[in-house]
Amino acid sequence: MNWFELKNAAQVDSPALIIYKDRVIENINKVKGMIDNVSRLRPHVKTNKMTEVVQLMMGAGINKFKCATIAEAEMTGLAGAADVLLAYQPVGPKAVRFLELIQKYPGTQFSCLVDNRESANDLQELAKQSGRHVKVYMDINVGMNRTGIKPDHGALGLYQYVHSLENLLPVGFHVYDGHIHDTDLAIRKQKCDQAYEPVVNLVADVVASGLPVPLVVAGGTPTFPIHSQRRREECSPGTFVFWDFGYARNLPEQQFDYAALVLSRVISHIDDQLICLDLGHKSIAAENPQPRVEFLNIPGTVISQSEEHLVLKVASAADYPVGTVAYGVTLHICPTVALYEKAYVAENNDVTATWKVIARDRQIIV
């Protein structure tokens, strides 16, 4: 059998998310082999959103994590993670929830982002009211132009100001360069190093001002091979754990295995070449142009997709009778995972368990 084929596929209703546990473990081992010290790994859990996957990483010696939502942060608390960065600036009710999270999971050291005085002051006031000290990273904008403060003299002033707040404990800087994703690694490295140079200077200015050496959490999957070669920076790849054909195509130097597929079925024949599968917009991330999925066992061209249907053109529809199981690799696995409330876990070509995609919800308890 092919590695992806399930002997008990008849027990799995489609569309479904299938996680291949052995391949997940192999990807975790590969990412550890790409860095000099596992303590510099801070994987982003937004890809997997599952307590069991976090625990697999913890079992491999990875104890620091990064997340984007309160629910993802709580998932890591449920898993018993030691150190979790909410890579988001909590505003309004989210800031209140963040303080509640710290109280509910005392065994996990939580931190979050700030990028302006007003938000820092609000968080300081909430921390003071709760009698707690909150660790924060200052969010640095190196070209993503989404959040953060530019790494100039203003950033030094803000960092010094946050140090003056009694209940906030500045740890360092968060530097996400998601705008850099050139396929050519040499070009990617050149752009990454150029964007990161002002951060190096900012760190030096912080030290020169008499403050402790700040930690830096840098990059995502595309720039992981570059930041991993630095000395102190923590790195935050996330997609590696499941992988997808978007990154497999664009980041050829990273040889991770596909470990999460979407399972669907042929439900109708339109003519001699057009078949319809039960894999619509609601079952696969739809933010990118087609093709959003590549089927490992049914070569073809996606013709159209709607909420619950996908039409595929193949050489001969007769080769794929109604009921044929299709195994697809997604273009973008992260938002695809969030569309499923549970994943089927496969080992040795059999589904042996299900894992709840617990952090797909915006709120677990907190």
The string of pLDDT tens digits covering residues 37-83 is 999 999 999 999 999 999 999 999 999 999 999 999 999 999 999 99
| Residue with tokens 């933010």, as numbered in its chain | 287
Strands 16-20 and 260-269: antiparallel
Quick check: 366 pLDDT over 90? no
Q: What local confidence, expressed as pLDDT, does residue 194 receive?
A: 98
How far is 314 from 185, CA to CA, in rounded Å?
35
Residue 362 φ/ψ, nearest 5 degrees: -75, -20
How far is 354 from 169, CA to CA, in rounded Å?
40
Q: What local confidence, expressed as pLDDT, does residue 220 receive?
A: 97
Q: How many beta carbons lie within 10 A of that of residue 166, not counting itself?
A: 9
How far is 87 from 44, CA to CA, in rounded Å?
9
Quick check: 204 pLDDT over 80? yes
> Reduced to 3 states, what is the DSSP secondary structure of residue 265?
strand
Smallest Cα–Cα separation from 267: which of 211, 325, 349? Answer: 325
Q: How confident is the model at residue 333 (pLDDT cuts 50, 70, 90)?
A: very high
Q: Which residues contact 95 (CB under 8 A, 6 or more apart)?
A: 122, 123, 126
Element (H, E) at 29: helix 21-32
Element (H, E) at 198: helix 185-208
Q: What local confidence, expressed as pLDDT, does residue 365 receive?
A: 87
Q: What local confidence, expressed as pLDDT, does residue 8 receive?
A: 97
Q: Determine what percent of the chain falls in helix, strand and coil, rounding each to the nearest 5.
A: 35, 25, 40
Q: Which residues contact 169 (CB under 8 A, 6 or more apart)?
A: 133, 134, 135, 136
